[in-house]
Amino acid sequence: MIEALIFKRVRAVDPHLALDATVDVVVERGRITRIGKNAAQNLPPSDRVRVIVGDGKWLLPGFIDLHAHVREPGYESKEDVASALRAAAAGGFVDICAMPNTRPVNDNKTITEFLMTKARTLNSTRLHPIGAITVGQQGERLTEMADLRDAGAVGLSDDGRCVTSSTVMRHALEYASMFDLPVIQHAEDHALTDGAQMHEGVVSTKLGLKGWPRVAEDIIVARDLLLVEYVGAKYHLAHASTEGSVKLLREAKARGLRVSAEVTPHHLLLTHEAVLGYNTACKVNPPLREERDVRALQQALADGTIDCIATDHAPHGALDKDCEFDRAAPGMIGLELCVPLLLDLVRTDVLSFGRFIEALTRAPAKVVNLPPPELRDGAEANFVLLDPQARWSIDPTRLWSKSSNTPFLGRTVQGRIDATVVGGRVVFESEGIDGDRASGTR
Ligand code: DOR
């Protein structure tokens, strides 16, 4: 049995602790017991100690994803708890939040408990269910929020659908605040997006596809922020996609409202031009927008107006995507690609390294009240070893998710997750990181 895990000569970076140094990190009994220069020097060699040499690699606090579609129960051919957690671990995530748009919808404690129990038995990345705001995500009757919270739900959302009724939203905010659960809104005025296939603009006109105007998001965000101000609740905006949302969030934060927001890798990297050629891999909800939205989102993430990066990991099978554009399901996978893709924004100085790490760790932890992973003596060992130099090509055979619906297939990225440690256990490792142990098999 391995009693100690040692990461030697890693560049440990934890912006919250103002840590950026080449150190050794020793893990025993699930915790970081020593961190510092030569911290591992006097440990006797033993077959109960596993040493991973990190020369040149980064050791970062483990990532937290607020927004993953795990698809179980009901759509296990696209993904299930086990495959989602494998993909999450391979992407460097130590905690993920599971959206409730399953079949049946996770609107009750039985499903929440089922997900928690199943995830626990897998000893991998931890799963935190998000319960529905309304029964069946129908937008009408509120769920039993206290039950959901007691069973382990960390937030509430009807994601995939918007809570359009102002009365229902008002009551959701009032009740959720009694349990300190964030209300996570999918902001879409469905009356304005009926039949819409992509962002409304010059590309939708060219392709003859019905458009999803920005204002359909902005209207809901503006209304919700007024309700938040009136009720005084904790509100989180899922997958912000417009320049207008950014402006509204900035104003709301300046007024001191308890609001937060997330942005996805695809909304930070792609525009509606990617849909040209009717590329169903780029069909997503909310849709890919325009250059000026992308710039506004990047800027907002950089300055903290948008708090978090979230994947909106939305696996779909080939049959859901290899079809006419208007019949294709919206969404793309993200857990394994999020960090390697977004490191480009750090390398090009769009985002500071510190903000990048915060947006994937401390900021999402705060939204759902999870303890933030930290690189310090005594902290639970939840971290990631990342090789910033390794280049690899995104190819379905390398992915752990059951689905491979992403427009980034074929792209070469720089930056590879080499190991993910949750509660002191290595839950993912890339091949040969210590040269003497094989990695798991697909
Ligand atoms: O593109 C999306 N896919 N957006 C959502 O809000 C839901 C998700 C899904 O469940 O496939």
10-27 pLDDT, tens digit each: 999 999 999 999 999 999
Ligand 1 atom nearest 238 alpha carbon: 6
| Nearest in space to 272 (alpha carbons), one of 196, 346, 174 | 196
Pocket test for ligand 1, best of 72, 157, 159 (most atoms within 8 A of CB): 159
Model confidence over 348-375: pLDDT tens digits?
Answer: 999 999 999 999 999 999 999 999 999 9
What pairing do the DSSP bridges indicate for beta strands 93-98 and 126-131? parallel
Do both 20 and 162 map to the same domain?
no
Q: Is the C-alpha dihedral spanning 214, 217, 223, 226 positive or negative?
A: negative
Measure 122 CA to ligand 1 centroid, in angstroms: 25
Measure 406 CA to ligand 1 centroid, in angstroms: 13
Model confidence over 413-435: pLDDT tens digits?
Answer: 999 999 999 999 999 999 877 74
Considering the domain boundaries, does residue 440 fall inside one?
A: no
Do both 170 and 272 map to the same domain?
yes
Mean pLDDT throughout 283-310?
A: 98
Do both 127 and 262 map to the same domain?
yes
Cβ of residue 330 lying under 6 Å from some atom of ligand 1: yes
**123 has a pLDDT exceeding 60:** yes
Per-residue pLDDT band at 41 (split at 50, 70, 90): confident
pLDDT of residue 437: 37
| Torsion on CA atoms 323, 207, 195, 136, rounded to nearest 10 | 50
Tokens 């857990």, residue located: 335
Do both 45 and 84 map to the same domain?
no
Do both 203 and 100 map to the same domain?
yes
Do both 54 and 68 map to the same domain?
no
Cβ of residue 331 lying under 6 Å from some atom of ligand 1: yes
Considering the domain boundaries, does residue 244 fall inside one?
A: yes
Query: And the tokens for 430?
Result: 């890339």
Considering the domain boundaries, does residue 238 fall inside one?
A: yes
Considering the domain boundaries, does residue 434 fall inside one?
A: no
Cβ of residue 242 lying under 6 Å from some atom of ligand 1: no
Do both 121 and 206 map to the same domain?
yes
Pocket test for ligand 1, best of 65, 69, 199, 284 (most atoms within 8 A of CB): 69
- Angle (CA) 220-97-331 rounded to 5° is 60
**439 has a pLDDT exceeding 50:** no
Residue ending a domain, choose from 321, 343, 367: 367
**442 has a pLDDT exceeding 60:** no
**Residue 312: active-site member:** yes
Structural domain count of the chain: 2
Mean pLDDT throughout 225-244?
A: 97
Do both 339 and 412 map to the same domain?
no
Measure 266 CA to ligand 1 centroid, in angstroms: 13
Which letter does DSSP use for residue 416 in this model?
E
pLDDT of residue 40: 86
Q: Tell me the whole-structure pTM to 2 decimals.
A: 0.97
Residue ending a domain, choose from 320, 346, 367: 367
**86 has a pLDDT exceeding 70:** yes
pLDDT of residue 435: 42
CB atoms within 10 A of CB 354: 15
Considering the domain boundaries, does residue 441 fall inside one?
A: no
* Residue nearest (by alpha carbon) to ligand 1 atom 6: 160
Q: Assign residue 147 the CATH number of its domain.
A: 3.20.20.140
| Domain span at 295 | 63-367
Cβ of residue 15 lying under 6 Å from some atom of ligand 1: no
Q: Assign residue 414 the CATH number of its domain.
A: 2.30.40.10
Do both 160 and 266 map to the same domain?
yes
Model confidence over 306-334: pLDDT tens digits?
Answer: 999 999 999 999 999 999 999 999 999 99
The one-letter amino acid at 29: R
Say whether 74 sits in a helix, a strand or coil: coil
Pocket test for ligand 1, best of 101, 282, 333 (most atoms within 8 A of CB): 101
Measure 408 CA to ligand 1 centroid, in angstroms: 17
Considering the domain boundaries, does residue 144 fall inside one?
A: yes
Task: Give the length of the chain.
Answer: 442
Do both 362 and 403 map to the same domain?
no
Do both 345 and 237 map to the same domain?
yes
| Nearest in space to 269 (alpha carbons), one of 205, 200, 201, 332 | 332
Do both 75 and 214 map to the same domain?
yes
| Catalytic, out of 24, 293, 312, 387 | 312
Considering the domain boundaries, does residue 439 fall inside one?
A: no
Rounded Cα–Cα distance for residues 275 and 185 (Å): 25
pLDDT of residue 185: 98
Considering the domain boundaries, does residue 442 fall inside one?
A: no
Say whether 180 sits in a helix, a strand or coil: coil
pLDDT of residue 56: 86
Rounded Cα–Cα distance for residues 12 and 388 (Å): 13
Phi, psi of 52 (to 5 degrees): -115, 120
